[in-house]
C-alpha cells in the first residue's frame, strides 16, 4: 500500500460511474482506472484465442499476461489489445456479458489484482468498478457507491450505444443489465456491494453535473 489518494467509485452497470470518474480524474488531474475494461479485455482476448468462458485456469492465464495499452490523446482515448485497437470492440453487449462471466471466477480476479493496484500513483487515482472500495483499494480515502434503477440505467446505456453508432435494443439491454446485476451481486468472490464506509448516491433522478458536484464536495471536504 502507498499513500496515494484513491477515490473509489463502485456501483452496478450503467449507473454513470464511467462518466463521473472521467470527469473527476480530469478535474483533479488524477489517474483513472476503468477496472471493468480489464474484465472486458480478458473476455475479448479469450474469444480471440478460442478459450471457453468456463475454463478458469486458461482465463486466469490470459488475465495474468494481458498485453494491453491504454493510450490517451487529444483525439480521444484508445485501448490496444495485443497491438490492435479494441476501444469499440470491448464495449459491445456480448463482451460486457462475457466480462461479467469471467469476473465471477476467483483466479481471474486474483490475476488482475496487482495490475489494478499499479494504477495507484501520485498525484492520485480515481478507480471505477464493483470492488474498488471493498477489495482492491480498501484504504481509499473516499468511497462512493453509485446506483440508479435498472430501467434508468438501461435507458442510459441504450443512448450511449446509439451515440457510438452501435446497434442496440432497449428491452434486450434491460434484460442484460438485470442478469449482470444478479451475477455481480450474488457471486461468491468480491460481490457487488457498498463498502461499510461508502457514501451511497442514488442518481436515478439526478443529472451528471449534480452527481459530480456531490462527489466533488465529498472530496473537497477531505481536503483534496
Ligand atoms: O463496468 P463494466 O460494465 O465495463 O464491467 C464489465 C463487467 O466486469 C461487469 O458487468 C462486472 O461483472 C465486471 N466487473 C467486476 N469488477 C470490477 C469491474 C467490472 O466484476 N471491478
Q: What is the pLDDT of residue 142?
A: 98
Residues in contact with ligand 1 by the CB-under-6-Å rule are 13, 35-36, 39-40, 96, 99-100, 103, 129-131, 180, 184
Ligand 1, from 12, 77, 103, 191: best to mutate by most atoms within 8 Å of Cβ?
A: 103
Q: Which atom of ligand 1 is nearest to the CA of 183?
A: 12
Q: What is the pLDDT of residue 1?
A: 58
Q: 446505456: which residue's cell?
A: 157
- 24-56 pLDDT, tens digit each: 999 999 999 999 999 999 999 999 999 999 999
Give the mean model confidence (pLDDT) for residues 154-163. Answer: 90
Whole-model pTM over 0.85 = yes
The answer to whether the beta carbons of residues 153 and 12 sit under 8 Å apart is: yes
Rounded to 10°, the helix 56-64/106-117 angle is 10
d(CA 192, CA 170): 24
Pick the CATH number of 6-221 from 3.40.50.410, 1.10.10.10, 3.40.50.300, 3.30.70.20: 3.40.50.300
Closest CA to 92 of 191, 151, 176, 182: 176
Amino acid at each position: 500500500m502507498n499513500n496515494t489518494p484513491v477515490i473509489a467509485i463502485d456501483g452496478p452497470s450503467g449507473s454513470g460511474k464511467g462518466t463521473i470518474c472521467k470527469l473527476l480524474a480530469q478535474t483533479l488531474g488524477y489517474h483513472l482506472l476503468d477496472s471493468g475494461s480489464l474484465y472486458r479485455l480478458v473476455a475479448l482476448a479469450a474469444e480471440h484465442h478460442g478459450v471457453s468462458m468456463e475454463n478458469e485456469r486458461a482465463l486466469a492465464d490470459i488475465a495474468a499476461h494481458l498485453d494491453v495499452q491504454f493510450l490517451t490523446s487529444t483525439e480521444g482515448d484508445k485501448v490496444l489489445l495485443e497491438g490492435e485497437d479494441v476501444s469499440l470492440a470491448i464495449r459491445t453487449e456480448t463482451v460486457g456479458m462475457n466480462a461479467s462471466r469471467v469476473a465471477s471466477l476467483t483466479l481471474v480476479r486474483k490475476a488482475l489484482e496487482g495490475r489494478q493496484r499499479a494504477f495507484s500513483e501520485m498525484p492520485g487515482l480515481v478507480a471505477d468498478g464493483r470492488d474498488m472500495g471493498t477489495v482492491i483499494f480498501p484504504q481509499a480515502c473516499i468511497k462512493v457507491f453509485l446506483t440508479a434503477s435498472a430501467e434508468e440505467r438501461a435507458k442510459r446505456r441504450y443512448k450511449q450505444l446509439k451515440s457510438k453508432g452501435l446497434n442496440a435494443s432497449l428491452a434486450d439491454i434491460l434484460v442484460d443489465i438485470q442478469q449482470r446485476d444478479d451475477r455481480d451481486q450474488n457471486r461468491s468472490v468480491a460481490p457487488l456491494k457498498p463498502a461499510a464506509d461508502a457514501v451511497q448516491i442514488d442518481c436515478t433522478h439526478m443529472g451528471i453535473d449534480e452527481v459530480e458536484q456531490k462527489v466533488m464536495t465529498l472530496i473537497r471536504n477531505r481536503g483534496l
